[in-house]
Structure 1
Amino acid sequence: MTEVEVVQLLVSPTHRLAGRPADGPSPVSVEELVLRAEVRGGLGLVGDRYFGQRVHRDAAVTFMSAEHLPLDIDTNVDLRQTRRNVLLRGVDIDSLVGSTVTLDCRFGPVTFSLNRPARPCAWMDVTIGPGAHRALRGKGGVRATPLTDGVLAVGEATFSVVTPAAQPGPR
């Protein structure tokens, strides 16, 4: 078990990065940063644009490590620019692809399958600044499926690896 901090949570009802990056993001219709988010197993974050979307079931929630934010490009960068859902401090989430983990924000553990890397795209150079796309390669976060219901909240939390990623066999 590792003590971590949930720095930010983003629940966005709309997909703001549609079209070409040169056109810029769509305007924000509601406050997307929340202090608490409800999680539904197999569905995602209640109220988020990917909640219950079949095509996004294995990527309904996206985690990112605060230590990987490109603060040298923009000191104010946060989840609104990266479009990830959960910003954690104290764990290298990118190194855990393939693992099953729990995150307990004082409301009971919520279990997630960390399925695949969240690859940065050209939008990062628009929303964060030139060079962000390249700076986030290999550390843009992880796309996950929630396996249980629960609540996530900003603040202190505990993080555990339940099942580590399978190690590749010898060649």
Structure 2
Amino acid sequence: MTQFPRAGTVDWIGLRPARDVLVEIVDSAVAVTGAGLTGDRYTGGSGKRGITLIQAEHLPAIAALSGHATVDPAVLRRNLVVSGIPVIALKGRRFRVGTALLEGTSPCDPCSKMEETLGPGGYNAMRAMGGLCARVIEGGVVRLGDAVEWVDA
């Protein structure tokens, strides 16, 4: 339970400048200690939900369960799409994404807006696949293609 077969990879980065505003897709972002990503609306919050991650491998399942051919990560409003490592297994653990050190705090459950976004049943289509919330322990830069690696305690 303390091993990962390999490092993951950052496949997509999105910033949510404000509630109900389109997600800004970027190639890199600055993670701020105790906050979140610069330019994201959660940067000034408590820090527990500073950065949200979702599993790339779950996107086709969410699409299939919601009756869509594909799902654009921007509509799910997570900050990072990560492949190759099970993000929910990082809950309660510290991990590096690029030069930033994060700590998984809680599952990132879907919200009722997924009923509008994905259609009726969208909330349940995402259930258990909403990803992970993380706090920024040490700030740094996160870029497309960066490794996502668990840090041994």
Output the TM-score relative to the length of structure 2: 0.85
Report the CA distance between 1:35 and its aligned residue. 0.8
Corresponding residue for residue 83 of structure 1: 77
1:95 partner letter: A
Find 1:14's aligned residue among 15, 18, 28. 18
Asked if 1 retains the 8 angstrom alpha-carbon contact of 2:8 and 2:149, the reply is: no
Secondary structure in 1 matching 2:75: helix
3-state SS in 1 of match to 2:63: coil
> What residue ranges of structure 1 are gaps of 5+ in the alignment?
17-26, 165-171
> What SS is found at the alignment partner of 2:97?
strand
How far off is 1:50 after superposition?
A: 0.8
Shift, 1:122, TM fit: 2.0
| Aligned AA (1:127) | T
Q: Distance in 1 between matches of 2:42 and 2:132?
A: 15
Match of 2:41 among 46, 49, 68: 49
Give the distance between the partners of 2:118 and 2:106, measured in 1 at CA: 23
Deviation at 1:6, TM superposition (A): 1.3
Whole-angstrom CA distance in 2 between matches of 1:151 and 1:128: 31
Residue of 4, 9, 30 corresponding to 1:5: 9
Q: CA deviation at 1:45?
A: 0.3
**Secondary structure, aligned partner of 1:138:** coil
- 1:21 aligns to what? none
Identity level (%)? 30
What is the TM-score with the length of structure 1 in the denominator?
A: 0.76
Structure possessing the higher radius of gyration over alpha carbons: 1
Structure 1 counterpart of 2:56, from 38, 53, 66: 66
Gaps of 5+ in 2: none
- Structure 1 counterpart of 2:131: 141
Partner residue in 1 for 2:148: 159
Aligned amino acid, residue 123 of structure 2: H
Which of 11, 16, 36 is the matching residue for 2:28? 36
The equivalent of 2:90 in structure 1 is 96
